[in-house]
């Protein structure tokens, strides 16, 4: 296909329609500070139209009533079309939010496909229906689509996060309104065209950008059954309170201040190289990054020296340059927030081993990567999410103290343990109050659930647990003989599928 690049309309009810408002959202390049496009800023009326389209598609349309195999077929067509546009997605997202282009080709354009592929595998094993027998009855337990889903996505890895919500929701039979971040709406426009080309029925997915006020009306809209949000903990608290007023289903994937415990027997060369991705990818703008590095006092200096060398090996510059590893921050406001944290760290007594100064650049919202030493666990730079290329090295005396430091956080999204003794590392990992722990930098993979303890969120995404938020569970009591009939039918279907394979 040839992408139209249209930005003056909204995708509602399976068609491109004119907005009711003349208000615009400017998309600004974080590298050049130039406006590269503008999209409509949706009005309350536009939001009502989008929800009405999704509501009608759910209540009266074919999508929730199709056999799972038919929904899978549409998403497989979508997958084939999407794969042809990977470079376009990478270039768009780099232009929108400054992710270095080489990295964009993986986390921004290839990872979404991997998410899609994994859900297409997982859904074939998902228990949409099952017979359960007990001493006092038998039931058909089914998982039904939850309804209309409002998906609110952030700017840092927009396509990967959209896929974490879009694919399981569609496979479950839901319909959706997707609200992209104002910083990164352009890739969502391309997504809409691909869904349209794949033959998704009208109204099943609607995509409209909006400001905060109109976005809040999406969360509270009576036509929305479920809200799935990824973003800051502050915004998540607001959304949770709004959903709680009407007992609306909600999934929240929020902030993090993840710790990496570096045990004495860790291979520091391997550890530090893994931190290139684990702590500094996407210029530090990822919620799961390990930004607190907890190391024993007698290995602290060696770690600091190796971290300084790591940062020196990561070119900062134009995100369109394939050599760049650290690009600009997404916005001027984000850069200002990070610089204020750096100033606060120095004011509280931390020592900037690398960086710590405003970056001298004529254009672009760049921050000098900063490594702090002499960090106490109670400092703001050790407690609050910075969302930039700023790392804090925190020393410990005993492993018990290291675990205590790692758990001393309102967050619990991610973490890591580095060691040569994997059994010991697993024991330490099991004591961390966090949703994911990576042993020696090993990723958990897309079949494993992702999400957080404490203020890092509610619910899980990815794996079979990633489908759970998009279903409601229903039990139908059955006469014993009829339960047997249904079991025999299910067994016959399974046998036929096995014969085909």
How far apart, in whole angstroms, are the C-alpha atoms of residue 210 and residue 85? 25
Residue 282 carries which DSSP code?
G
Pull the structure tokens for residue 329. Answer: 């921050």
Residue owning tokens 């647990």: 465
Element (DSSP H or E) covering residue 417: strand 415-418
Residue 253 designated active-site: yes
**Are 440 and 419 a contacting pair, CB within 8 Å?**
yes
Q: Which residue out of 96, 183, 193, 253 is catalytically annotated?
A: 253
Instruction: Compute the distance between CA of residue 381 and CA of residue 387 in angstroms, rounded to an integer.
Output: 11
CA distance 185 to 154: 10
User: Is the Cα torsion angle 251, 254, 257, 263 positive or negative in sign?
Assistant: positive
First to last CA, the chain: 33
Q: List CB contacts of 327: < 8 A, sequence separation 6 or more.
A: 30, 31, 94, 98, 99, 100, 283, 316, 317, 318, 319, 366
Torsion of CA 384, 387, 393, 396, to 10 degrees: 40
The token pair at 184 is 């990164």
Please give the structure tokens belonging to residue 357: 């100064």
Cβ atoms of residues 122 and 464 within 8 Å: yes
Reply yes or no on whether 287 is catalytic. Answer: yes
Q: Which residues pair with 19 in a beta bridge?
A: none
Alpha helices in 60-180 (DSSP H): 68-83, 86-97, 101-103, 111-122, 158-172
Which of the residues 99, 174, 243, 287 is marked catalytic? Answer: 287
CB 140 within 8 A of CB 483: yes
Residue with tokens 């090295």, as numbered in its chain: 393
- Between the CA of residue 252 and those of 36, 79, 165, what are the distances in Å? 31, 26, 11
Q: Which residues are catalytic?
A: 253, 287
């Amino acid at each position: 296909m040839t992408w139209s690049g249209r930005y003056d309309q909204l995708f509602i009810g399976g068609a491109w329609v004119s907005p009711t408002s003349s208000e615009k959202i400017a998309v600004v390049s974080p590298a050049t500070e130039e406006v590269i496009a503008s999209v409509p800023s949706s009005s309350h009326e536009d939001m009502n139209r989008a929800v009405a389209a999704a509501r009608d598609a759910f209540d009266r349309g074919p999508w929730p009533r199709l056999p799972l195999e038919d929904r899978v077929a549409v998403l497989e067509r979508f997958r084939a079309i999407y794969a042809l546009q990977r470079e376009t997605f990478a270039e768009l997202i780099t232009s929108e939010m400054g992710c270095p282009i080489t990295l964009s080709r993986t986390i921004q354009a290839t990872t979404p496909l991997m998410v899609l592929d994994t859900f297409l595998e997982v859904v074939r094993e998902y228990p949409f229906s099952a017979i359960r027998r007990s001493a006092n009855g038998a039931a058909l337990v089914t998982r039904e689509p939850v309804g209309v889903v409002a998906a609110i996505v952030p700017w840092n890895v927009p396509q990967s996060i959209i896929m974490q919500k879009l694919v399981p929701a569609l496979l479950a039979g839901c319909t959706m309104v997707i609200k992209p971040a104002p910083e990164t709406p352009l890739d969502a426009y391309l997504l809409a065209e691909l869904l349209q080309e794949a033959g998704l029925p009208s109204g099943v997915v609607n995509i409209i950008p909006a400001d905060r006020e109109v976005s809040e009306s999406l969360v509270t809209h009576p036509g929305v059954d479920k809200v799935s949000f990824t973003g800051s903990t502050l915004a998540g608290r607001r959304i949770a309170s709004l959903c709680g007023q009407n007992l609306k289903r909600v999934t929240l994937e929020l902030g993090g201040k993840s710790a990496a415990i570096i045990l004495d027997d860790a291979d520091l060369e391997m550890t530090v190289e893994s931190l290139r991705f684990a702590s500094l990818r996407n210029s530090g703008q990822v919620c799961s990054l390990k930004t607190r590095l907890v190391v024993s006092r007698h290995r602290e200096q060696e770690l600091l020296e190796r971290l300084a060398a790591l940062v020196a090996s990561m070119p900062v510059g134009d995100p369109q340059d394939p050599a760049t590893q650290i690009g600009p921050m997404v916005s001027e406001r984000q850069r200002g927030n990070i610089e204020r944290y750096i100033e606060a760290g120095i004011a509280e007594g931390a020592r900037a081993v690398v960086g710590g100064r405003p970056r001298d650049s004529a254009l672009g919202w760049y921050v000098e990567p900063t490594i702090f030493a002499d960090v106490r666990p109670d400092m703001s730079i050790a407690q609050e999410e910075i969302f930039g290329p700023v790392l804090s090295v925190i020393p410990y005396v005993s492993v018990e103290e290291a675990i205590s430091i790692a758990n001393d956080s309102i967050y619990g999204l991610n973490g890591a343990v580095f060691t040569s003794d994997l059994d010991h590392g697993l024991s330490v990992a099991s004591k961390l109050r966090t949703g994911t722990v990576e042993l020696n930098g090993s990723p958990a993979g897309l079949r494993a659930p992702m999400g957080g303890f404490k203020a890092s969120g509610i619910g899980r995404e990815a794996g079979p647990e990633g489908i759970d938020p998009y279903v409601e569970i229903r039990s139908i009591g059955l006469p014993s003989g009829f339960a047997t009939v249904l079991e025999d039918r299910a067994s016959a279907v399974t046998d036929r599928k096995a014969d085909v394979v």
